[in-house]
């Protein structure tokens, strides 16, 4: 037991260090290369107290590139990756289904419809520094989730399977509306299409600050309730027999995960694969215990998306790949490799 715990903690610490290094490297890379050491010092100099230790032996241009352009984008990738992986881990526990991903209960398609509407009508409003597209996407995501919830609830006994089916049906319905709007709006189709592919190119500090509270609150709640997620893996009835108010807990986590996904999707569009696969990959490293799986998924999801976004914006610079292509292109083969090596550790 003790040895197992030590191994899991070690895995988390190593993952954390790799993530910190990845952030620095990601910030250094781009059209203008800023040496890694300089990048690291520019970032550290902005940290209160610690920053006093660093002299400004870098150019103002370098500082602008790092602090105003690259850092918000990298941090946004970090937060979105964390949020998607966290929601994936929660949904996989709630649904006890290894195929559950953050889009499963209609969030992604709800966000897509919201964003599409904003594009389609050329809506040009903002709130708290956010433009219309992320705002509409966020509202769309939450509306979809609550629609699924109320349809499922109206069906009488709310079962997990019922919720999944309603989520699937509603997603298909919303997707059809999105496609229809795309077809009739030829001139804006390109914008909508690229948003749907997912990307962080518009990332700025306002978005980072808008998403941060949701991801942070969701992470804290999930880490606190990790042991209850473990119980839920035994099924709702068994979890209740072991002292968990399983039904209430399920709904709390459902709302938490929905808010996290809604926030993430609204600023990034639909980025596949991170939410579905990160928890599985982390599970191979830490085992199924959510006390390690949740922090591991947060770090792993952040790391995954930071790396993927760096590749997306550098590999064919100055053009950019949609990051969703990168996550699937590198993530899927890696996951299959792990799957074949550790077949029995999954599900």
Partner 1 sequence: MEWKALEAKGVYAAYYRENVVAGMDIAVAAGDFIGIVGPNGSGKTSFLKSLSRALRPRQGVVLLEGEDLYDLPAKQVARKLAVVPQENPISFGFTALEVVLMGRNPHLGRLQGAGPADLEVARLAMEKANVWHLADRPANELSGGERQRVIIAQALAQDAGLLLLDEPTQHLDINHQLSLLEMLLEMCSRGLAVVMVMHDLNLASQYCDRLIVMRRGMEFAHGAPAEVLTSTVLQEVFGVGSIVTRHAVTDRPHIIFLPAPGGDGALAGPRVHLVCGGASGASFMRDLLERGCYLTAGVLNLGDGDEEVGRALEIRMTTEAPFSHVSEDAHLANLELMREADAVIVSDLHVGPGNLVNLEAALQALEWGKAVYLFSPHPIEERDHTGGKARELYGRLLAAGAEESPDREEILSWLAGEGGGPR
What's the CA dihedral at 226, 230, 232, 235 to 10 degrees?
170
Instruction: Give the residue, chosen from 165, 212, 233, 255, that forms a contact with partner 1 under the rule CB under 8 A.
Output: 233
Convert residues 129-158 into a mask of x (bound to partner 1 by CB under 8 A) and - (unbound): ------------------------------
Positions in 254-313 near partner 1 (CB under 8 A): 283, 287-289, 291
Q: Does 230 bind partner 1 (CB under 8 A)?
A: yes
Decide if 297 contacts 291 (C-beta within 8 A): no
Q: Which is closer to partner 1, CB of 201 or CB of 288? A: 288
**CA 281, CA 167: separation in Å to the nearest integer?**
25
Q: Which is closer to partner 1, CB of 42 or CB of 89? A: 89
Provide, rounded to whole angstroms, the least separation between the CB of residue 41 and partner 1. 38
- Which residues are paired to 165 by β-bridges? none
How far CA 152 is from CA of 143, 146, 155, 170, 245, in Å, comes to: 14, 10, 5, 11, 20
Three-state DSSP class for 347? coil
Beta-carbon contacts of 307 under 8 Å, excluding residues fewer than 6 positions away, are: 22, 26
How far CA 122 is from CA of 130, 184, 195, 265, in Å, comes to: 15, 14, 14, 20
Helix %, strand %, coil % of the chain (to 5): 75, 0, 20
Q: Which is closer to partner 1, CB of 3 or CB of 184? A: 3
Convert residues 84-113 into a mask of x (bound to partner 1 by CB under 8 A) and - (unbound): ------------x-x---------------
Q: Could you tell me which stretch among 184-192, 193-201, 233-241, 260-268 binds partner 1 (CB under 8 A)?
A: 233-241
Q: Does 235 bind partner 1 (CB under 8 A)?
A: yes
Q: Does 227 bind partner 1 (CB under 8 A)?
A: yes
Environment class of residue 273 by beta-carbon count within 10 Å: exposed (0-12), middle (13-18) or buried (19+)?
Answer: buried
Q: Which is closer to partner 1, CB of 186 or CB of 237? A: 237
Instruction: Give the residue, chosen from 48, 128, 243, 318, that forms a contact with partner 1 under the rule CB under 8 A.
Output: 243
Provide, rounded to whole angstroms, the least separation between the CB of residue 229 and partner 1. 11
Q: Does 213 bind partner 1 (CB under 8 A)?
A: no
Provide, rounded to whole angstroms, the least separation between the CB of residue 173 and partner 1. 29
Provide, rounded to whole angstroms, the least separation between the CB of residue 29 and partner 1. 37
Provide, rounded to whole angstroms, the least separation between the CB of residue 237 and partner 1. 5
Measuring CA to CA, which residue among 167, 171, 136, 138 is closest to residue 151?
167
Q: Which is closer to partner 1, CB of 242 or CB of 332? A: 242
Measuring CA to CA, which residue among 286, 290, 127 is closest to residue 209?
127
Q: Which is closer to partner 1, CB of 177 or CB of 339? A: 339
Q: Does 244 bind partner 1 (CB under 8 A)?
A: yes
**CA 92, CA 209: separation in Å to the nearest integer?**
28
Q: Does 246 bind partner 1 (CB under 8 A)?
A: yes
Decide if 268 contacts 198 (C-beta within 8 A): yes
Interface residues with partner 1 (CB under 8 A) are 1, 96, 98, 224, 227, 230-231, 233-235, 237-238, 240-246, 283, 287-289, 291, 344-345, 347
């Amino acid at each position: 037991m003790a040895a197992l715990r030590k191994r899991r903690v070690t895995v988390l610490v190593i993952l954390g260090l790799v993530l910190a290094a990845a952030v620095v490297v990601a910030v250094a890379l781009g059209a203008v290369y800023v040496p890694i050491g300089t990048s690291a010092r520019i970032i550290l100099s902005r940290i209160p107290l610690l920053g006093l230790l660093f002299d400004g032996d870098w150019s103002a241009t370098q500082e602008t590139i790092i602090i105003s352009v690259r850092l918000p984008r990298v941090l946004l990738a970090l937060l979105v990756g964390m949020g998607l992986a966290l929601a994936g881990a929660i949904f996989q526990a709630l649904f006890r289904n290894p195929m559950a991903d953050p889009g499963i209960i209609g969030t992604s398609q709800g966000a897509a419809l919201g964003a599409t509407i904003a594009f389609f009508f050329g809506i040009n409003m903002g709130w708290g520094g956010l433009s219309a597209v992320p705002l509409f996407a966020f509202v769309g995501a939450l509306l979809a989730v609550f629609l699924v919830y109320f349809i499922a609830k109206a069906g009488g006994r709310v079962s997990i399977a019922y919720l999944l089916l309603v989520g699937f049906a509603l997603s298909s319905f919303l997707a059809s509306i999105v496609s229809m709007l795309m077809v009739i709006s030829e001139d804006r189709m390109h914008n909508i299409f690229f948003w749907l592919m997912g990307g962080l190119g518009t990332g700025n500090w306002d978005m980072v600050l808008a998403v941060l509270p949701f991801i942070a609150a969701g992470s804290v709640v999930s880490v606190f309730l990790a042991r209850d997620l473990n119980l839920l893996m035994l099924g709702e009835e068994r979890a209740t027999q072991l002292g968990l108010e399983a039904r209430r807990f399920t709904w709390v986590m459902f709302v938490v995960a929905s808010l996290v996904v809604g926030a993430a999707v609204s600023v990034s569009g639909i980025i596949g694969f991170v939410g579905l696969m990160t928890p599985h990959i982390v599970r191979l490293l830490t085992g199924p215990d959510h006390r390690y799986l949740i922090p591991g998924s947060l770090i792993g999801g952040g790391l995954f998306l930071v790396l993927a976004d760096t590749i997306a914006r550098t590999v064919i610079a100055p053009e950019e790949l949609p990051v969703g292509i990168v996550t699937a292109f590198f993530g899927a083969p890696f996951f299959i490799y792990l799957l074949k090596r550790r077949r029995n550790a999954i599900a």
